Amino acid sequence: MPQAAVPSAALRPTKPKLIPLEVWAKEMFGEYAPHRNTLHNWRRNARIYPLPIKVGRMYFVSPDAQYIDPNTEKIRRMIGMR
């Protein structure tokens, strides 16, 4: 009996959809990751985009999330760069 072909998408390692906020910070900033309190301050003030999601007692964020500096974003909008 011939063996069924496995789709190539099944062989590729997939990126996790969400990772814990602290893990994201370590991946993004390395050894200079901000303190947990700073990360939660950024979360409360919507400085991480896309916004972290609370699941249980932890916050999870997309692996490709970015820190958004509000001053930089304001200047970009003023000069039309978005």
What string of DSSP letters covers the chain?
-PPPPPPHHHHSPPPPS-EEHHHHHHHHHGGGPPPHHHHHHHHHTT-EESPPEEETTEEEE-TT-EE--HHHHHHHHHHT--
Q: What is the mean pLDDT of residues 3-31?
A: 81
Q: What is the pLDDT of residues 30-57, one digit of tens each?
A: 999 999 999 999 999 999 999 999 999 9
For residue 45, what pLDDT is reported? 93
Question: pTM of the full predicted structure?
Answer: 0.70
Domains of the chain: 15-79 (1.10.1660.20)
